Amino acid sequence: MSPAMSIVRRIQTWLFILLLVASAAMGVVLWQLRERAHQRLLAGQDSAPTQAPVVSPEERATLMVANDADSSMQPRELTLPLPQDDGSRARVILGKLLDLYALPDATHPVPGGAASIGQVFLLPAENLNGSPAASAPARNAGPAEASIAAARGVSVANSGAGQKNTAAAAQDGGPELAVVNLSSAFVASHPSGIEAETLTVLSICATLHANLPRVTQVRFLVDGQARDTLAGHADLTRTYLASDAMPTEGTNP
Amino acid sequence: MLDRLAIRSFCNQVVSGAVAAAFIVAAAGLKPGCLIAQETAPAQQPIPAPPAAPRPATLPAAPRFVVVLDAAHGGDDGGGKFGSLLEKDLTLALSVRLRSLLAARGIAVVTTRESDASVVPERRAEIANHAAARACLSIHATQTGSGVHMFVSSLPPQDPARIAAWKTAQSAWVTRSLALEGVLNSALLQAGMNVTLGRTALSSLDSMVCPAVAFEFAPAGGQKGEKPATSLDDPAYQAQLAEALAAGLLAWQAEARQP
């Protein structure tokens, strides 16, 4: 073997070793970056559920908390930071209600917590006797507009006139329909049973009505889609009258 | 839109019975949103009704007392899952037990299922409505709470109408359903059961044109945090429930016979 060849082979060997070390080092760095990204993701999930902005002023809210033991609902007053926008405010309040249900010693245990409330859309309420008030889009109009319209059974084609009606209704302070978009994870983990499902639905309706008295009707979506039942029993295709969900003294809902 | 041929064909089947005074207009297989039309003679209850023509010189035959037992879920729809137990099996077991007790007492029983079969809510209501039942019981089971939960449709009570919307047909019967719930509640309390009453929105219940109650049984005893005293599939517990329900339905039958 010539000296030149020997030098080339030595350089090749060193180059190979260098590349091997570089590959191993890159592997370690990539692993650390992956771990860091995973931690960041987890931290993001922890803070995601409807945390009200810290700048929001603290206000009193009333939660209608269900109790499986006697099939009742009891009001519970809380002070928490609430956004000014009604839709966001409704979402924060319902998130707090579901946080209570996710606690280990909950009177109405339902896993999921605040992350189970996707959005709450507020629309002018329809006359349930058949005369549609306005084919209006949601005040939080966005990509879910079509789903909300589907929940109401109206078309989104005439949204121009609808927006005017919505604005007018909002200014007038007329009755409103709340469309609550639940997560499919919440529905999948919800305990099955007429009592459990009815209490969840009614406590959401009653909590909305207690804090936003203009909300007179409530409908439910799951991941933006209409769904037949909550967990096999409670009908989610119907429009619930929020005032009917409010318990009267000494009676069950 | 209603299919007139389907209506006529359906009416021919239903009106063939002497006491059938109601018919259901089914549009495209009774989809939600179709209509129920009740054809009633003046001053008669929509369902069940006495014979169309009174028999002279003889007492009118008493309408048959029919009870519909609707064992919830079935087939692919297992309902709630409680450990190794499935709601569909528990409801069927109680339905079969109660059917036997009622049949032994001379009450005609119609069931929505006798095996592990899928029955959609519309079909359950359709079976109940065809039977012209005096009482409809939708049987459910749950692990939540304790004792027995009974529910009546949360639809607002309305006067019987000639044409009723399919999804709110029960509204004309809510008052009678509350009365049935009261009679069953008394029987269950007498049997020492812990009973809670409420209103709910169940699609099959809302479409029934009969006094209808959703009956949901949870494990007996055992307060919050404690282990329930009995399991849902305990034969003795199910027998106790069936006996109490049978006693309640007998009391309801006796009440119905009173002038």
**CB of B173 closer than 8 Å to CB of B48:** no
Distance from CA of B141 to the nearest CA of A (A): 7
Write the pLDDT tens digit of every residue in A96-126.
999 999 999 999 999 999 999 999 999 998 7
Report yes or no: A238 at the B interface, CB cutoff 8 Å.
yes
- pLDDT for A220 equals 96
In angstroms, the CA B152 to CA B177 distance is 6
pLDDT band at B69 (very low <50, low <70, confident <90, very high): very high
- pLDDT for A247 equals 62
- Across the interface, which of B199, B216, B224 has its CB nearest the CB of A193? B216
Residue B169, phi-psi category: left (phi > 0), alpha (psi -120 to 50), beta (remainder): alpha
Q: What architecture is domain B66-157+165-257?
A: 3-Layer(aba) Sandwich (3.40)
Give the residue from B212, B220, B211 showing the smallest Cα distance to B188.
B220
Q: Say yes or no for a CB contact (<8 Å) between A194 and B199.
A: no
Per the model's pLDDT, the better-predicted residue between A149 and A216 turns out to be A216
- Across the interface, which of B144, B151, B201 has its CB nearest the CB of A191? B144
Domain ranges across chain A: 1-47, 58-245
- pLDDT for B71 equals 96
Q: Say yes or no for a CB contact (<8 Å) between A234 and B202.
A: yes
- The dihedrals phi and psi of B185, each to the nearest 5 degrees, come to -60, -45
Q: What is the mean pLDDT of residues B23-28?
A: 36
Write the pLDDT tens digit of every residue in A186-202.
999 999 999 999 999 99
**CB of A59 closer than 8 Å to CB of A92:** no
- pLDDT for A172 equals 59
Q: Say yes or no for a CB contact (<8 Å) between B203 and A232.
A: no
Q: What is the mean pLDDT of residues A32-45?
A: 83
For chain A, the maximum distance between any two Cα atoms, rounded to a whole number of angstroms, is 104
Per the model's pLDDT, the better-predicted residue between A205 and B57 turns out to be A205
- Please give the ipTM for the structure prediction: 0.75
Q: Say yes or no for a CB contact (<8 Å) between B202 and A69.
A: no
Percent with pLDDT over 90 in chain A: 58
Report yes or no: B158 at the A interface, CB cutoff 8 Å.
no
Q: Where are the alpha helices (DSSP H) in chain A?
A: 3-47, 86-101, 145-152, 159-172, 184-189, 194-211, 242-245
Q: Say yes or no for a CB contact (<8 Å) between A198 and B198.
A: yes
Q: Say yes or no for a CB contact (<8 Å) between B218 and A198.
A: no
Within 175-194 of A, beta carbons closer than 8 Å to B belong to 191-194
What residues of A are in contact with residue B81 (Cβ under 8 Å)? 192
